[in-house]
Structure 1
């Protein structure tokens, strides 16, 4: 990973809030895994997105939606980072997200996303 794509809380915040679906996947290792737990994917059967290509498709979908993303809290400890995110669709529907990241070297190797949706 080059230093232009260094992963830290500020870079993640900037990419998420900027809906930069092209930049976000560059933060992940080729074999990274993102687990999503939400109303459609319960903890016993989370959605698993494997590999940078699939993660890129996931972020293209999320970032392509007409919504506002706001990263609120970022915590780091060693090779781990966590953040909370509030999202809002134009119709007022909201999504709250808590994300937990593990790094391997300078790239994300694992991430768990827990989402709660209005309604």
Structure 2
């Protein structure tokens, strides 16, 4: 049985859902995520390799008391880009921009640039 194609609504369900399982299912087994933010600058990003490390990150994120919203998404061929906004219960906001490389309908590579209220 084939997997569902990568589309905006699938991504929205993954991001805005209350569990990390839907979002994790969008990643290829050997996917890589690079995260750039105030603490991990472009020369030394956080790098996660494979679904095990990605699952640990998503589990940590989705255990927090916060909401996630997919703001915009553009998909063209084997690339996609999206904006996500998050808000903690105390009102602290986070914005993240992602660029994706897709392979067979799954995320193979993701670059996340994020900023948050301080």
Q: TM-score range by the shorter chain?
A: over 0.9
Q: Does 1:25 align with 2:24?
A: yes
Report how far residue 117 of structure 1 moved.
Answer: 0.8
In structure 2, the partner of 1:70 is 69
Runs of 4+ aligned residues of structure 1 deviating over 3 Å after TM superposition are none
Q: 1:1-119 to 2 correspondence within 5 Å?
A: 2-3=2-3, 5-119=4-118
- Describe the shift of the 1:36–1:69 C-alpha distance in structure 2 as closer, same or farther (beyond 3 A): same
State the TM-score, normalized to the length of structure 1. 0.92
- Describe the shift of the 1:53–1:2 C-alpha distance in structure 2 as closer, same or farther (beyond 3 A): farther
CA contact (8 A) 2:13 2:22 kept: no
- CA deviation profile, 1:39-62 (whole Å, cap 9, x unmatched): 211111000000011111111111
Return the alpha-carbon distance in structure 1 between the equivalents of residues 18 and 113 of structure 2. Answer: 19
Return the alpha-carbon distance in structure 1 between the equivalents of residues 18 and 111 of structure 2. Answer: 19
Report how far residue 26 of structure 1 moved.
Answer: 1.4
- CA deviation profile, 1:4-62 (whole Å, cap 9, x unmatched): x5422211111111132112111111111000111211111000000011111111111
**Which segments of 5 or more consecutive residues in structure 1 lack a partner in the other structure?**
none
**Equivalent residue pairs, number:** 118
Return the alpha-carbon distance in structure 2 between the equivalents of residues 7 and 84 of structure 1. Answer: 16
CA contact (8 A) 2:6 2:26 kept: yes
Return the alpha-carbon distance in structure 2 between the equivalents of residues 70 and 28 of structure 1. Answer: 19
Alpha carbon RMSD of aligned pairs, Å?
1.4
CA contact (8 A) 2:34 2:112 kept: yes
**Which segments of 5 or more consecutive residues in structure 2 lack a partner in the other structure?**
none
